[in-house]
Structure 1
Amino acid sequence: MNASGNHALKADLLLLAATLLAACGWIFSKESLAGLAPFQFVGWRFLIAGLVLAVFSWPQLRVLDRAALGRAAMVGVLFAVAMSLWILGLQHGKHLGEGAFIASLGIVLVPVFARIFFGERPPVSTWVALPVALSGFACLSLAHGFRVEPSQWFFLAAALVFAFLFNLNSRVVRGVPVLALSTIQVVIVGVLVLPASALVETWPASVPTPVLFWLLASALIATTLRFLVQLHGQSLTTPSHAAVILMLEPVWTALVAAWWFGESMSAMQLLGCGLIALALVISRLRWIRGLLKSVL
């Protein structure tokens, strides 16, 4: 195998590992909520992860000017909102696999937000994927008796914020090194959410040791290690190729949740998740075709 083939294989393996780490993060987070308040958990998770990431990104951070730091911090505020909505969805959710597929709707909505807020013209595949994705969400709602569960609203709201966040990351903070940007945004989540938690939540008098383990696993494995692995994998391939592989996160999450929590899906839930997965494929159809051509 030549050097370029080795790089491609290494990138694929790293990105696959990143999606699996992200899926495990759903498990670690759910287990942590057994002994921590939701915002308390998010605050500590991202503050710890951000400080560790800062060690790796310090050479990039120390040369950023105030304007770049300010832009990155501003987008970090939006990231904090998205993660707050996500953790509320996880707190109320009874099915992690379903939640992961709903949260992944943000990928489909990225070009829609680019059209609404930045005047870009999305590809035709976006308008084909959107009704398919909405049909999938409707099926998940019907699975609960013609009503949308609170967790589904929170995950959907998080997906909407993530879609806007992705657009800002590609515009407002363009030119900021990716590792430095990730570090700033992760730290901002901890700095904002942890004090908010102290104001609005009642912290437990003591935290069981297993919960502390899950918190550290969330911070160090599902956040710090996941970001480092994902960013390294992305550096070895094209953004489009990476995006296709990263779409596997909800699939991994459903499989890991089925193994860890014994979750199973009804026929309606399977249909809903399947439609959302199909929408993800349609939204990235052009990139998938390019990937297949390069492989074949």
Structure 2
Amino acid sequence: MLNKPSYRGELFILLSTILAGVGWIASKFVILEVPGVTFVTARFLLASIILLPFCYKQVFALRPKQVLSLCAVGVVLAASIEVWVYAISISNTLSVGAFIMSLAMIIAPFISWILFKVRPPRIFWLTLPVTCIGIMLLTLTNGWVIDKSQWYFLLSSALLSLHFVLNKQVLNKTKPLTSICVQLFMIGLVGLIVMLIVHPESVQLNSHIVFWFAVSTLIATCLRYLAQTVGQFSVKIEKASLIMILEPIWTLLLSVSLLGEVVEPQKLIGGGIILLSLFIYIKFANKTSTQ
């Protein structure tokens, strides 16, 4: 009797995209009342402490070279997160930011080409013009004027692409959960250093802030990365990538329902084109690599 295929890994990755969408909304609610740098510091330091009991033996067994590599990659991710949080704080359209952030998969081949001389596949050059059309429809809704937050989302996406490329190198020698724990700690540490420099204003806590901070830390960080790690353990990278591009869809739905965001048809078409180009790129790039 044949065993039925298990979709446990796919369901974990799908769950991680939903939790990531929740993270966009929770972050927006928190930074309306808390300085972004304070939020980043507290969120990621606490998240790394929560994950540490599950991998502390592996963390303390890391060699100095591995620690330095993970810390360096974590600093890149920290830069992306800091820019992302600032972009959220000045943005009125989270859904647009989420679609722009999804471009990390398109920008990554450029980074890999520059750093490691890995030439992008042919499908990359075919989908790039389609992606550019999507970006134009998504951002240029008031003539040839791009909102300030969109530039920061694009910068954050580029930094996230750099992290994606570098992280792939360090994961070859380190277990995913160990890597995530160290990198989350580095994000918090970088945030703490920035906080000491800029001296943000004191924060008066209330139940509203505490609730959304807990959602952001426990659900959108710890559970999200844990679900993503478990899912990626048993799912091929091409299938995982296809599922993970659903994140901006959940962000759009949550932003419209919870924040009352109004999305023009032009932006919906632009976001749809970006998702289509990402789908085609990931599908055919991995198909050609396995031939």
TM-score, normalising length: structure 2: 0.94
Match of 1:15 in 2: 13
CA distance in 2, matches of 1:190, 1:152: 24
CA distance in 2, matches of 1:2, 1:127: 42
Give the % identical residues: 32
Q: Which deviates the most, 211-220 or 171-180?
A: 171-180
Q: CA deviation at 1:264?
A: 2.5
Match of 2:230 among 220, 232, 243: 232
Deviation sequence 1:148-204 (CA, Å, 0-9, x none): 111100100011111111111112453111111111111000011123123214223
Match of 1:5 in 2: 5
CA distance in 2, matches of 1:167, 1:191: 22
CA distance in 1, matches of 2:202, 2:3: 53
Deviation sequence 1:31-81 (CA, Å, 0-9, x none): 101220011111111111111111112122121111101100011111110
> Could you tell me which amino acid in structure 2 is paired with residue 142 of structure 1?
L
Within the alignment, does 1:278 sit opposite 2:256 as a pair? no
Within the alignment, does 1:124 sit opposite 2:122 as a pair? yes
Q: CA deviation at 1:289?
A: 6.2
Maintained 8 Å contact 1:28/1:217: yes
Match of 2:44 among 43, 46, 58: 46
Q: Which deviates the most, 21-30 or 106-115?
A: 106-115
- For the structure 1 residues 2 and 210, does the alpha-carbon distance in structure 2 shift closer, same or farther, using more than 3 Å as the test? farther
Maintained 8 Å contact 2:242/2:283: no
Maintained 8 Å contact 1:244/1:288: no
Matches of residues 138-157 of structure 1 in structure 2 within 5 Å? Answer: 138-157=136-155
Match of 1:183 among 181, 189, 206: 181
Q: CA deviation at 1:288?
A: 7.6
Match of 1:293 in 2: none
Match of 1:76 in 2: 74
Match of 1:55 among 49, 53, 56: 53
> Could you tell me which amino acid in structure 1 is paired with residue 5 of structure 2?
G
Unaligned 5+ segments in structure 1 are 291-296
Maintained 8 Å contact 1:79/1:162: yes
CA distance in 1, matches of 2:55, 2:148: 38
Q: Which deviates the most, 154-163 or 122-131?
A: 122-131
Q: Which deviates the most, 125-134 or 228-237?
A: 125-134
For these two proteins, the number of residue pairs brought into alignment is 288
CA distance in 2, matches of 1:288, 1:271: 26
What RMSD, in angstroms, separates the aligned Cα atoms of the two structures? 1.8
> Could you tell me which amino acid in structure 2 is paired with residue 33 of structure 1?
I
Match of 1:115 in 2: 113
Match of 2:219 in 1: 221
Maintained 8 Å contact 1:50/1:186: yes
Q: For residue 74 of structure 2, give the secondary structure of its aligned residue in structure 1.
A: helix
> Could you tell me which amino acid in structure 1 is paired with residue 193 of structure 2?
P
Q: Which deviates the most, 116-125 or 217-226?
A: 116-125
Q: Which deviates the most, 205-214 or 39-48?
A: 205-214
Q: For residue 169 of structure 2, give the secondary structure of its aligned residue in structure 1.
A: coil
Match of 2:191 among 193, 204, 216: 193
Maintained 8 Å contact 1:40/1:193: yes
Q: Which deviates the most, 124-133 or 157-166?
A: 124-133
> Could you tell me which amino acid in structure 2 is paired with residue 5 of structure 1?
P
Q: CA deviation at 1:267?
A: 2.1
Match of 1:67 among 65, 90, 97: 65
Match of 2:248 in 1: 250
Match of 1:137 among 135, 138, 142: 135
Q: CA deviation at 1:287?
A: 6.3
Q: For residue 34 of structure 2, give the secondary structure of its aligned residue in structure 1.
A: coil
Runs of 4+ in structure 1 off by over 4 angstroms are 1-4, 287-290
CA distance in 1, matches of 2:253, 2:2: 34
Q: CA deviation at 1:3?
A: 4.8
